[in-house]
Structure 1
Amino acid sequence: MSELSEIVDSLENRISKLLHRHEKLKQSNLKLEEELDRLKVEQGQFQSEIDELREKCSSLKLANSMLGSDQYKRETKLKINALVREIDLCITQLSE
């Protein structure tokens, strides 16, 4: 009978340890999920900043080319031609 009691006590002890470990893992998982959410928000902010900086870089390249830099003349000519085509299209639509 004492063996049965010892087995039951051992099982209770193991179950208690498993429940404690399960609780720790749940808390750890919750912390990791919170950190993941925080990192996702941070990544979104960084991506927005990257997009903004790329746009500024493009604007600076265009401004530099318009100031007479030989490096971006081709891009400037293409941009000017595109703008002229848009203006011609607008004039055509207005005259109809």
Structure 2
Amino acid sequence: MSQLSDIVDSLENRISKLLHNFEKLKQSKLKLEEEVQILKEQQRQSKQQIDDWKEKFESLKTANSMLGSDQYKRDTKLKINALVREIDQCIAQLSE
């Protein structure tokens, strides 16, 4: 009978340890899921920041081309031609 009691006690201890480990793993999983959410949000913000900087860069490039920068001389000519075409279209629509 003593042997059976020892076996039951041993099983109870093992089950208790398993349950404890299970709870630890559950907590660890929750922390990791929170961390994943935080990292996803940071990634989203970084992408937004990159998009904003790209937009600012394009604006600066356009401004430089409008000012006649040597580096963007071709772009400047293309922009001017596009603006002239737009103006011509407006004039044509107004004269109709």
Which TM bucket (shorter chain)? 0.7 to 0.9
Identity of aligned residues (%): 75
Q: What is the aligned partner in structure 2 of residue 47 from structure 1?
A: 47
TM-score, normalized by length of structure 2?
0.80
Structure 1 regions of 5+ residues with no counterpart? none
After superposition, give the CA deviation of every residue in 1:35-66 in whole Å (9 maximum; x if it has no partner).
Answer: 11111112111111111111001110111122
TM-score, normalized by length of structure 1?
0.80
The amino acid across from 2:24 in the alignment is K
Residues 63-74 of structure 1 mapped to structure 2, 5 A cutoff: 63-74=63-74
Query: What RMSD over aligned residues (CA atoms) do the two structures have, in Å?
Result: 2.1
Is the contact made by 2:65 and 2:72 (CA closer than 8 Å) also made in structure 1? yes
Q: What is the aligned partner in structure 1 of residue 60 from structure 2?
A: 60
Q: What is the aligned partner in structure 1 of residue 37 from structure 2?
A: 37
Greater mean deviation of Cα atoms: 51-60 or 65-74 = 65-74
Greater mean deviation of Cα atoms: 33-42 or 81-90 = 81-90
User: How many residue pairs get matched?
Assistant: 96
Structure 2 regions of 5+ residues with no counterpart? none
Q: What is the aligned partner in structure 1 of residue 5 from structure 2?
A: 5
The amino acid across from 1:76 in the alignment is T
Greater mean deviation of Cα atoms: 37-46 or 13-22 = 37-46
Q: CA–CA distance in 2 between the matches of 1:95 and 1:22?
A: 80
Deviation at 1:91, TM superposition (A): 5.3
